[in-house]
Amino acid sequence: MSAVAENMPDGVSDDIMIRVRGLKTAFGSHVVHDGLDLDVRRGEILGVVGGSGTGKSVLLKAIVGLLTPVAGTIEIKGKNQAELSGEEARAARRDWGVLFQDGALFSSLTVAQNVQVPLREHFDMNMDLMDDLAISKITMAGLSLDAAVKFPSDLSGGMRKRAALARALALDPSVLFLDEPTAGLDPIGAAAFDKLVRELSRSLGLTVFLVTHDLDTLVTVCDRIAVLGDNRILINAPLRDVVDYDHPWVQEYFKGPRARGAGID
């Protein structure tokens, strides 16, 4: 075991699950990222934070293939995503779960039917098995069984987040992408969701890429924090190192009044 691995939390290794090198993303003449490098270790929960307009969600979308970069390489589990054939890319995506900021649930489908969408897309299985798998993921996400037959409009904000998480877990992914998972939740609901993510990551061995602006999430859930700024990753390190990083936005964010309220000294 390396010296680096010896200092890591249980379940986290020094293997690189996601490797981004020289990433450039842009919308026309507006450059969002330029020369961005990032490593995400196997089994860790990485929190991605940055000021408004720094491209947190854009980075997530580039990694999962929803946005084509101008330049750079993205490797997941050692495979350059740009070099995969159509079927190889489809197979690779079965190993990822994605929870978008608004949940992106289909309003005309029940919770169980929403969870079954990726199962129908990738596998040919009978209805009984799909029902069983949907119930399993729904309970795994902390919802009661009666939530399975409800529609998204019947759910609270916290329940919709959990339903979206159940769908993200449908294919038993090894990598979970979460975009602002606690946005819009009250403090109690956000804390409960944070705890659930932490427990699932450790029990299932998930690697979690978590975009957030929530200081409580960064403190209680994340193993490392990657800070976006100046079109790149300013620092990617444990919280204790990030708070001392000499950058105006980092200092304002991590040492301001709200940070003290979250328990950051």
pLDDT in tens, 105-128: 999 999 999 999 999 888 888 899
Which of the four pLDDT bands, split at 50, 70 and 90, describes residue 62? Answer: very high
Q: Is residue 2 part of a domain?
A: no
Amino acid (one-letter) located at 132: D
- The verdict on residue 176 lying in a domain is yes
Angle among Cα 6, 19, 54 to the nearest 5 degrees reads 110
Q: How many domains does the chain have?
A: 1
Element (H, E) at 233: strand 232-237
Q: Is the pTM of this model over 0.85?
A: yes
What is the structure's pLDDT at 88? 87
Q: How far apart are CA 215 and CA 186, in angstroms?
A: 14
pLDDT over 80 (residue 67)? yes
Residue 257 lies in a domain: yes
Q: How far is CA 159 from CA 60, 163, 211, 220, in A?
A: 23, 6, 19, 21
Give yes or no for residue 13 having a pLDDT over 80. Answer: no
Please report the pLDDT score of residue 169 as a whole number: 96
Range of the domain at 174: 44-61+84-261
Give pLDDT, residue 6. Answer: 44
Q: What count of other Cβ atoms lies within 10 Å of the Cβ of residue 62? A: 24
Domain-located, residue 231 = yes
75 domain-assigned:
no
- Burial of 35-61, coded b for 16+ CB within 10 Å and e otherwise, reads ebebbbbbbbbbbbbbeeebbbbbbbb
Contact, 231 vs 33, CB < 8 A?
Answer: yes
CB-based burial of residue 13 (10 Å sphere; 0-12 exposed, 13-18 middle, 19+ buried)? middle
The pLDDT mean for the chain works out to 90
**pLDDT (mean) for 150-162:** 93
The Cα 147–Cα 138 span in angstroms is: 8
Task: Inform me whether the pLDDT recorded for 11 exceeds 70.
Answer: no
Residue 1: pLDDT band with limits 50, 70, 90: very low
Q: What is the pLDDT of residues 241-265, one digit of tens each?
A: 999 999 999 999 998 776 655 667 6
Kindly report, residue by residue over 162-176, the tens digit of the pLDDT: 999 999 999 999 999
Instruction: Identify whether 151 is part of a domain.
Output: yes
Q: Indicate if the pLDDT at residue 4 is higher than 60.
A: no
**104 within some domain:** yes
Q: What is the pLDDT of residue 262?
A: 61
> Is 16 part of a structural domain of the chain?
no
The model's pLDDT over 176-213, given as tens digits with 9 standing for 90+, comes to: 999 999 998 999 999 999 999 999 999 999 999 999 99
What CATH number is attached to the domain comprising 154?
3.40.50.300
